[in-house]
Amino acid sequence: MPSQMQAYSVRLEFSGEALVHANLSGAAFVNHDLWVAGDEAAGLMRLSRLDPLAGETLRYGNSRYFALADYLALPDAADIEADLEGMAFHGGYLWLVGSHGLKRKAPKAGRTIAENLKRLASVSHDGNRCLLARIPVVDGPHGSELARRTADGRTAAILSGNDRENELTARLADDVHLGAYLAIPGKDNGFDIEGLAVHDDHLLLGLRGPVLRGWSGLLEVRPRDKDGGLRLGKLGDRHRYRKHFLKLSGLGVRDLLWDGDDLFILAGPTMVLDGEIRVFRWDNAAAALASVPDDCPEMLWEDGPREVLSLPHGIGTDRAEAIARLPQTLLPGAAKWLVLYDAPAPARCPAEHVVLADLLQRDPVVKKPARKPVSA
């Protein structure tokens, strides 16, 4: 488990065509390439490993932007943000999820009180936010790339729906725990997906909101190919999704990560709040989830994740949003995890379009010398 943090140890250099660096919300490694998502864009960026420049542990740059509309039939216009909040690489695909939530306009400096009250009453829905999709990854001349279709039969696909809802939100509309929250903006403790993890053919979607009386939520789904897109397959005999409620100290999920059979959960305040962000570890979560009876639509886990680390945060800045494990071949030795932050503080931005990320590291195992036998 991570037990120490190396602050500002990874340098990420972005080009200026997409302002992903200021709102990082998802990350995944494909070999030694780093793919990142931002919650105010409709695309992904690939960064390549570069030689260290200023004493950092890792440096990434030569960024390339991949527009989602080039690979997916998006439910809304190509320039409408997807509010991407989770990403995972599994089975030759990058899996992506948007927030699926409504958004409320925030007051702006320089506006009149009347104008800002009108903004605060404005709630909207962008179709691209209801995005659950996969895109094949292939080898290109300069690193990993995305493709609509590959020679080995992999295809890009999106969960069926339209610009108002997809199959997941349609099925949740009458859910006894979550249905009412679909009409509440995500940052008001409404329905808000943040975090995606893939194990075998099951996806876990983390909920930043709602947090119900201190209980945080995960959704388990099993997408299946159908008619050129994705549909929710059955979990057992009849259920198309399963709810898991966990104790995360009243925090909402910010990201998810499988590490073998253990599940890491990055958790922080729901809504727009400054507060402690923590890393939880659910030991042997794969076996726990597999043990759930097929006919069970929901679980309340009184025992499960345990806190292993707290992360720094600022006032309106440095909100940890993404966690990804480094490939062992990238930095040999003790296991390491990358943490990316939304709204980076000035200390994380040493130059234009440059942001510094953190590394979590497992304490190295210190082998004790063998004890010499004591003579009688």
Structure tokens at 295: 């006919």
Cα–Cα distance, 342 to 274 (Å, whole number) = 12
**pLDDT of amino acid 272:** 84
> What digits encode the pLDDT tens for the residues 133-178?
999 999 999 999 999 999 999 999 999 999 899 999 999 999 999 9
Query: Could you tell me if residue 207 is inside a domain?
Result: yes
Residue 179 clears pLDDT 70, i.e. is over it: yes
Residue environment code for 13-37, b if the CB has 16+ CB neighbours within 10 A, otherwise e: bbeeebebbebbbbbbbbeebbbbb
State the average pLDDT over residues 18-23. Answer: 70
Q: Write the CATH number for 192.
A: 2.115.10
Confidence at 220, pLDDT banded by 50, 70, 90:
very high
Query: Could you tell me if residue 367 is inside a domain?
Result: no
Query: Could you tell me if residue 213 is inside a domain?
Result: yes
Query: Could you tell me if residue 20 is inside a domain?
Result: yes
**pLDDT of amino acid 175:** 98
Nearest to 196 by CA among 215, 177, 220, 214: 220
Query: Could you tell me if residue 86 is inside a domain?
Result: yes
**pLDDT of amino acid 19:** 61
Which range of residues forms the domain containing residue 106? 4-341+350-361
Q: Supply angle C-alpha 35, 32, 308, rounded to 5.
A: 75
Cα–Cα distance, 156 to 151 (Å, whole number) = 13
Cα–Cα distance, 244 to 325 (Å, whole number) = 24
Interacting residues of 223 by C-beta distance below 8 A, sequence separation 6+: 132, 134, 159, 201, 203, 230, 231, 232, 233
Mean pLDDT of the chain: 92
> What digits encode the pLDDT tens for the residues 78-98?
888 888 999 999 999 999 999
Q: Which of 7-21, 24-38, 341-355 has the lowest mean pLDDT?
A: 7-21
State the average pLDDT over residues 111-137. Answer: 95
Cα–Cα distance, 192 to 38 (Å, whole number) = 15
Confidence at 41, pLDDT banded by 50, 70, 90:
confident
Residue 1 clears pLDDT 80, i.e. is over it: no
Interacting residues of 321 by C-beta distance below 8 A, sequence separation 6+: 24, 25, 26, 39, 85, 194, 254, 255, 266, 340, 341, 342
State the average pLDDT over residues 282-309. Answer: 95
Residue 13 clears pLDDT 60, i.e. is over it: yes
What is the percent of the chain with per-residue pLDDT over 70, rounded to a whole number?
A: 95
**pLDDT of amino acid 229:** 95
> What digits encode the pLDDT tens for the residues 261-272?
999 999 999 988
pTM: 0.93
**Bigger pLDDT: 195 vs 2:** 195
Query: Could you tell me if residue 368 is inside a domain?
Result: no
Residue 232 clears pLDDT 60, i.e. is over it: yes
Query: Could you tell me if residue 371 is inside a domain?
Result: no
State the average pLDDT over residues 198-227. Answer: 96
Residue 34 clears pLDDT 90, i.e. is over it: yes
**Bigger pLDDT: 74 vs 18:** 74
Query: Could you tell me if residue 374 is inside a domain?
Result: no
Q: Which of 14-28, 193-207, 273-287, 346-360 has the lowest mean pLDDT?
A: 14-28
**pLDDT of amino acid 363:** 63
Domains in the chain: how many in total?
Answer: 1
Confidence at 373, pLDDT banded by 50, 70, 90:
very low
Residue 7 clears pLDDT 50, i.e. is over it: yes
Interacting residues of 374 by C-beta distance below 8 A, sequence separation 6+: none
Confidence at 16, pLDDT banded by 50, 70, 90:
confident
State the average pLDDT over residues 224-246. Answer: 95
Residue 365 clears pLDDT 60, i.e. is over it: no
